[in-house]
Amino acid sequence: MIKFENVAKRYGDTTVIKDLNMEINDAEIAVLIGPSGCGKTTTLKMINRLIEPSSGAIYINDQNILKADPIELRRNIGYVIQQIGLFPHMTVEQNIGLIPTLKNWPEDKKAARVRELMELVGMPPEEYMNRYPNELSGGQQQRIGVARALAADPDIILMDEPFSALDPLTRAQLQDELFNLQQELHKTIVFVTHDMDEALKLGDRICIMRDGEILQFDTPENLLRHPAHGFVEEFIGKKRMWQQPEYIKAEDIMITNPVKATPNRTLTQALEIMSSSSVDSLIIVDDKNKLLGIVTAKQVRNNANKARRLEEIYERDILSVKLDDSMADILKLMAQNDIGYVPVTDEQGRLRGLITRSSLVNVLGDKYVGEE
């Protein structure tokens, strides 16, 4: 775990980091983002002491790094930057093996590690290990930069806008590869970017900064759904959540007061409830509001001479979703089962709302048109 405790950074009379308090969990990708000059790169570089804090303390696994040897500290933290920083006079093999060399690894161990990492980042060693950086594309150079950062198997990797200079296709590929690497290696990654799309794609948690302060450090989902500050909402973009259906939950789009009835209602009463509420179906619940099923006006009319109460005719085998199910999954469920509605329940099975095709159209229409 990386912990900032009352950390500040000043240059003369200018304070660029103000009383920073933050904890980054083990094996998570924590993304630092904010407008230019907000202090995100300064924060990153204080972790490996390329920049020394003016006050406060930074801990890695409860050890104060300000008391550690800075050279040894850096050798145990991977570092990837936008400019890549490969040494042009060294081969790919020598670049990746640099830190193991400085740490006096045996040659056979170092060679095996280089080959392992080149395979890991999709660069076959037989083809690339003897090439020089100027013989590689930008994306290939950045893959080697990532491999070099992993060479000594550090627990922490710092990445300062590593993909921002690449073309969009290569950038997207490397983002995917980094995410897949993280799933396999479980490193603690601190990632600086100015691109919110990249932050949402990669971050387990995202730290939004402004003027040297943290405004919100939270999961992508909570940032989108519950921005804690007006600037956070503006910076993310008010409509971004509605462009990310995996982050929109059932509780965001459901009708919160669906028309319902208990199964002991008569068919005549059921028709009257539907008529007065201008609906053609009723959700059936028990006296504790637990979802039981559904009945349509057509079912009621077709059974008018055969049954007296709803308990005799309502449909019990119905699909439902939970409050935190995503809109993407709900739309898929409705399409696959060719249904126009789906009740929403809590963990206890109590009815909390209803999603219909028409309600989806209305909600999305309000978000896209009503905010213009």
236 vs 362: CA distance, rounded Å: 23
Outline where the chain has alpha helix (H): 40-47, 70-75, 92-96, 98-102, 107-120, 125-128, 138-150, 168-185, 196-202, 220-225, 230-236, 250-253, 267-277, 297-302, 327-337, 357-369
Average pLDDT over residues 286-310: 93
- The residues, ordered by sequence, that sit 6+ positions from 217 with a Cβ below 8 Å of its Cβ are 22, 30, 205, 206, 207, 208
More confident residue, 197 or 158: 158
> Token digits for 94?
């020598």
Q: How far apart are CA 116 and CA 125, in angstroms?
A: 9
- Residue recorded with tokens 């077709």: 302
- Mean pLDDT across the stretch 23-40? 95
Average confidence (pLDDT) over 9-18: 95
The per-residue pLDDT for 367 is 56
Distance separating alpha carbons of residues 372 and 362, to the nearest angstrom: 15
pTM: 0.74
What confidence category does residue 326 fall into, taking pLDDT thresholds of 50, 70 and 90? confident
- Mean pLDDT, all residues of the chain: 91
What is the pLDDT at residue 236? 87
Cα–Cα distance for residue pair 100/149, rounded to 1 Å: 11
DSSP state letter for 350: B
Indicate the DSSP class of residue 300.
H
Q: State the maximum Cα–Cα separation within the chain, in Å, rounded to a whole number.
A: 91
245 or 266, which is more confident? 266
Of residues 122, 131, 125, the one with CA closest to residue 112: 125
- Calculate mean pLDDT across residues 307-334: 92
Stretch 132-158: mean pLDDT: 93
DSSP state of 50: S
pLDDT of 246: 74
Q: Are 101 and 109 in contact (CB under 8 A)?
A: no
43 backbone dihedrals φ, ψ, rounded to 5°: -60, -45
Residue 338 has pLDDT above 50, yes or no: yes
Domain boundaries, given as residue ranges, for the chain? 2-246, 251-369
At 135 the three-state DSSP class reads helix
Q: How far apart are CA 246 and CA 328, in angstroms?
A: 5
**Cβ atoms within 10 Å of 216's Cβ, excluding its own:** 20
Nearest-angstrom CA–CA distance, 132 and 189: 27
**Token reading at 174:** 């490397």
Identify the pLDDT of residue 166.
87
What are 50-57's contacts with CB under 8 Å, separation 24+?
Answer: 50/74, 51/9, 53/7, 53/8, 53/9, 53/17, 54/8, 54/9, 54/10, 55/6, 55/7, 55/8, 56/4, 56/5, 56/6, 56/7, 56/8, 56/19, 56/20, 57/5, 57/6, 57/7
* Mean pLDDT within 186-190: 96
Could you give the CA distance from residue 54 to residue 20 in angstroms, rounded to a whole number?
12
Q: How much of the chain, in percent, has pLDDT values that exceed 90?
A: 73
CA–CA dist 305, 183 (Å, integer): 61
For range 15-41, the mean pLDDT? 95
Q: Checking phi first, is residue 279 left (phi over 0); if not, alpha (psi -120 to 50) or beta?
A: beta
Q: Kindly indicate the confidence band of residue 19, based on its pLDDT and cuts at 50, 70 and 90.
A: very high
Question: What is the tens place of the pLDDT at every residue in 103-137?
Answer: 999 999 999 999 999 998 989 999 999 999 999 99
Q: Between 3.10.580.10, 3.40.50.150, 3.40.1000.10, 1.20.1250.20, what CATH number should domain 251-369 receive? A: 3.10.580.10
2-11 and 321-322 strand pairing: unpaired
Pairing verdict, β 321-322 and 341-345: parallel
| CA gap 319, 339 in Å, rounded | 9
Mean pLDDT computed over 46-62? 96
Superfamily grouping for domain 2-246: P-loop containing nucleotide triphosphate hydrolases (3.40.50.300)
Q: Distance (Å, rounded) from C-alpha 252 to C-alpha 107?
A: 58
Mean pLDDT of 217-229: 88
Query: What is the average per-residue pLDDT within 195-206?
Result: 92
The DSSP symbol for 279 reads -
Any idea what DSSP says for residue 6? E
Residue 370 scores a pLDDT above 50: no
User: Do 191 and 41 touch, CB atoms closer than 8 A?
Assistant: no
> Are 188 and 157 contacting, i.e. CB atoms less than 8 angstroms apart?
yes
In three-state secondary structure terms, 203 is: coil
Q: Are 28 and 188 in contact (CB under 8 A)?
A: yes
